[in-house]
Each structure stands twice: as C-alpha cells, then as structure tokens.
Amino acid sequence: MTRAPRRPANPLDAAEALFKPAKKAAAAPAAERRALPHVKEPVSMRLDSDVLAYFQAEGPGWQERVNDALRAAMKE
C-alpha cells in the first residue's frame, strides 16, 4: 500500500496548502477586569492645539491639570 507523500509534489497544491485557513481553537471568553480606584491609565486623546498650549503654558504637571479639569466637568 502506498502512502501519500508528506508534501504535495505539485507546486500548486503546495501553495494552496500553505494558504488554506488554519483551524482556530475556541477562544475562552474574556474575563471582565474591574478597574482599580484612583489608578491612572495611559490614553491617547486628540486636543486642539490652543487647549494643549493653555495647559502646557504653566509648565510641568499639565497632564494633572487636564485631569483636574475633566474631573470638575464630570462632577457638574
């Protein structure tokens, strides 16, 4: 009894074997992570240049000032 070769002899079959979709394992559901209180998280924001210049004009700590302004707006 002859066995099929491990690799296809036909180049077209070999190329098709490379690009055939792989079977994906069932992914476990993502565990919901609760945010810790008062932990700062890195984010990316788009701000107008004049708004950014206003907060940066007073020197270091401008990110804290932006955070304080956002917190004040949140509490209103």
In a domain, 56, yes or no: yes
Q: Is 34 part of a structural domain of the chain? A: no
- This prediction has a pTM of 0.51
Q: For residue 54, what are the contacts with CB-CB under 8 A and spacing of at least 6?
A: none
- 61 occurs within a structural domain: yes
Full residue range of the structural domain in which residue 73 is found:
48-76
pLDDT tens digit sequence for 16-54? 877 777 777 777 777 777 777 778 888 999 999 999 999
Q: Does 53 reside within a domain?
A: yes
Q: Are 14 and 7 in contact (CB under 8 A)?
A: yes
Q: Are 6 and 14 in contact (CB under 8 A)?
A: no
pLDDT at 6 over 80: no
Overall number of domains in the chain: 1
